Chain A
């Protein structure tokens, strides 16, 4: 942490060329991904996205040295991955994996302290400096109140942060995380992403993570790598991928569409029902969302010709034109009920 603090220059941390990853079982090689070209610098947060089974975890395991690559070169911090000894590698790459760590009677502090093992002597005795680094890692991960707690008293989100603190205590320039946000509730996801973003920007770490959370990745990542079955990897700045239509293309499915405006996927309830809505603002956009969920295709209409008018006021006020009269309602629930009754 302190090392990288002073020097914020970008150093290439990962380079992979013609890389094939997969499994070798009794001499038959099954390549999950082939011919990958990857590049990463310190200070960057990269989100690796792709459907289940596309080989995201396999790629991460290969890059962190847990399993061998099938073909190609991997350079980590300027040196071939194969040329590292296990002990040397522990000082360059740290991982947060999906492996569950359930150890009875282990305190959070002791677990984070294990991050110092690559640096300690034969008996794993911690120096004063080690304790300082552990405290710093605990502070960065925001888990000071949990320090003295036992591991089995933590929630999933708290445990995930503890594992991140452990990786931080390892003081590696490169951190690899496999689905760190799985099983977390939404606020915890945001908090975790913020921590990771901060580690990349402020502490010049190179962070590579897999996730299924598209909108959070678009908001936070410097780069997004998209991998899929039988498709070339696509790398780019999130906004470029959105605008070039890569996301829409990549996760294409019949009843799901990618909304370029919000950066979110939407379930498409394609029907013939069309409805015209006028009026904008926050209220307008939520009314449109509700109508789309109910299967309406939203159209625009000239002033006075619209079916539904959302007043531009702080409180919700929706005017619906029915056959013979106009009705004003103050909740989305009433609006939907009204439309249902009309049919």
Chain B
């Protein structure tokens, strides 16, 4: 079949682009290391400076890996929510999961920060735990409410309202906190792929991969959900159960990434749109794997662009992802609108 051939070609092309971006991510950074030396670091050879090996192996490699996993996780989370809510603007941040994570982090850095920072207890681990707890709290509330509200739109609105309420609480907390604590909170909010490192990679990659596998297992129900509750039921889908599963998987994927990398905007919304347009399909048997692949590649691109200033340091990931993602979302919406008119 022609479409099948085209899909395989697209997959291969994007995969190769991903490999290239992965190597560029390892190659480029604030410290310039010649390509030859990078090659030698991996394949055993003489390296000019010993510190270079540390930079490549312990910093850039886990960072690139984190970018791939985070990009895939956020994109799949966005896809699940767009399908469940049948709304093109749904994404990981929409259900209030990111806001929940923000609240958790704000609690630790802003509220407890004044006391705890004196005792040097504020570190990455406590931020991660707080973010995960906050995101988990919101997922828990949503899971509690999901079977009780009849339809998805109501749930979407509840998610949005949770998001607004939580943001307001964070604003209040900010008002009462010291400059020093505020800085810690804002830093987390800028987003970064560098906080996972090898020490947390097992947990991070383990949960992300489990979530991605779960999403793959949900491909058939997701297709049915596209047709709406009644048609899904008529095709034999237990909608309540399916909804719980989809929210759990989407929520956990968003939560784990937000906890480790901060709130990274627009990847989750933009990538599913890019994939649907590229593959001209809404069949999850095609787009679910494609979103996993493209999400990782997209995040690698974002990560690379964030390090464009070279020796001057890195730009915040959240800013770059929004700068690329927002125009893409606008473009996609315009494109679809024009097609309907035509």
Residues from chain A with a CB closer than 8 A to the CB of B226 are 103, 106
Q: How far is the CA of A89 from the CA of B232 in the complex (A)?
A: 12
Instruction: Contacts A90-B234, A93-B234, A118-B236 given; indicate if A101 touches B227 (C-beta within 8 A).
Output: yes
What are the interface flags for B279-302 relative to A under an 8 Å C-beta threshold, 1 for contact and 0 otherwise? 111110100000000000000000
Most buried by B among A94, A95, A117: A117
Q: Is the CB of A105 within 8 A of B231?
A: no
What are 11 of the A-B contact pairs (CB < 8 Å)?
Answer: A87-B236, A94-B234, A99-B228, A103-B226, A107-B281, A117-B235, A117-B236, A118-B235, A120-B220, A124-B220, A124-B223
Cβ of A233 within 8 Å of any chain B Cβ, yes or no, is: no
Instruction: Contacts A103-B282, A105-B277, A124-B219 given; indicate if A114 touches B224 (C-beta within 8 A).
Output: yes
Q: How far is the CA of A118 from the CA of B230 in the complex (A)?
A: 15
Q: Is the CB of B340 within 8 A of A65?
A: no
Q: How far is the CA of A99 from the CA of B10 in the complex (A)?
A: 34
Interface size class of B (residues with CB under 8 A): 20 to 34
Cβ of B49 within 8 Å of any chain A Cβ, yes or no, is: no
Residues from chain A with a CB closer than 8 A to the CB of B281 are 105-107, 110
Q: Is the CB of A86 within 8 A of B230?
A: no
Residues from chain B with a CB closer than 8 A to the CB of A170 are 234-235
Q: Is the CB of A117 within 8 A of B224?
A: yes
Instruction: Contacts A104-B282, A123-B220 given; indicate if A64 touches B234 (C-beta within 8 A).
Output: yes
Instruction: Contacts A66-B233, A110-B283 given; indicate if A122 touches B227 (C-beta within 8 A).
Output: no
Most buried by A among B88, B226, B235: B235
Q: Is the CB of B223 within 8 A of A114?
A: yes
Which 8 pairs, one residue from A and one from B, show the smallest C-beta to C-beta distance? Answer: A90-B236, A124-B220, A87-B236, A118-B236, A105-B282, A106-B282, A117-B235, A95-B234
Residues from chain B with a CB closer than 8 A to the CB of A110 are 281-283
Residues of B within 8 A of A (CB): 88, 217, 219-220, 223-224, 226-228, 230-231, 233-238, 276-277, 279-283, 285, 336, 339-340
Residues from chain B with a CB closer than 8 A to the CB of A31 are none
Cβ of A218 within 8 Å of any chain B Cβ, yes or no, is: no
Q: How far is the CA of A170 from the CA of B236 in the complex (A)?
A: 11
Number of A interface residues at 8 Å Cβ cutoff, please give it.
Answer: 32
Q: Which residue of A lies closest to B88 (CB)?
A: A104
Instruction: Contacts A105-B277, A106-B282 given; indicate if A122 touches B220 (C-beta within 8 A).
Output: yes
**A239 to B: closest C-beta gap in Å:** 33
Q: Which residue of B lies closest to A107 (CB)?
A: B281
Q: Is the CB of B237 within 8 A of A86?
A: yes
Q: How far is the CA of A158 from the CA of B230 in the complex (A)?
A: 20
Q: Which residue of A lies closest to B227 (CB)?
A: A101
Instruction: Contacts A117-B220, A123-B285, A124-B285 given; indicate if A103 touches B227 (C-beta within 8 A).
Output: yes
Residues from chain B with a CB closer than 8 A to the CB of A111 are 227
Cβ of A70 within 8 Å of any chain B Cβ, yes or no, is: no
Instruction: Contacts A86-B236, A86-B238, A114-B223 given; indicate if A101 touches B336 (C-beta within 8 A).
Output: no
Cβ of A332 within 8 Å of any chain B Cβ, yes or no, is: no
Cβ of A130 within 8 Å of any chain B Cβ, yes or no, is: no
Interface of B is mostly: helix
Q: Is the CB of B336 within 8 A of A86?
A: no
Q: Is the CB of A66 within 8 A of B282?
A: no
Q: How far is the CA of A93 from the CA of B283 in the complex (A)?
A: 24
Q: How far is the CA of A121 from the CA of B142 in the complex (A)?
A: 30
Residues from chain B with a CB closer than 8 A to the CB of A106 are 226, 281-283
Residues from chain A with a CB closer than 8 A to the CB of B234 are 64, 66, 90, 93-95, 97, 170
**B2 to A: closest C-beta gap in Å:** 9
Residues from chain B with a CB closer than 8 A to the CB of A104 are 88, 276, 282, 336
Q: How far is the CA of A323 from the CA of B339 in the complex (A)?
A: 64
Q: Is the CB of B227 within 8 A of A114?
A: yes
Q: How far is the CA of A184 from the CA of B274 in the complex (A)?
A: 35
Residues from chain A with a CB closer than 8 A to the CB of B223 are 114, 117, 124
**B223 to A: closest C-beta gap in Å:** 6
Contact of A152 among B227, B233, B339 (CB under 8 A): B339
Q: Is the CB of A90 within 8 A of B219?
A: no
Most buried by A among B219, B231, B285, B336: B231
**A82 to B: closest C-beta gap in Å:** 15
Instruction: Contacts A123-B220, A124-B219 given; indicate if A101 touches B228 (C-beta within 8 A).
Output: yes
Q: Is the CB of A86 within 8 A of B233?
A: yes
Q: Which residue of B lies closest to A110 (CB)?
A: B283
Q: How far is the CA of A233 from the CA of B224 in the complex (A)?
A: 35
Residues from chain A with a CB closer than 8 A to the CB of B238 are 86
Residues from chain B with a CB closer than 8 A to the CB of A99 are 228, 230-231
Instruction: Contacts A106-B226, A124-B285 given; indicate if A89 touches B236 (C-beta within 8 A).
Output: yes
**A329 to B: closest C-beta gap in Å:** 48
Q: How far is the CA of A127 from the CA of B156 in the complex (A)?
A: 37
Instruction: Contacts A104-B336, A123-B220 given; indicate if A114 touches B282 (C-beta within 8 A).
Output: no
Q: Which residue of B lies closest to A91 (CB)?
A: B236
Residues from chain A with a CB closer than 8 A to the CB of B224 are 114, 117
**B219 to A: closest C-beta gap in Å:** 6
Q: How far is the CA of A35 from the CA of B233 in the complex (A)?
A: 27
Q: How far is the CA of A54 from the CA of B48 in the complex (A)?
A: 86
Q: How far is the CA of A87 from the CA of B233 in the complex (A)?
A: 9
Q: How far is the CA of A86 from the CA of B88 in the complex (A)?
A: 29
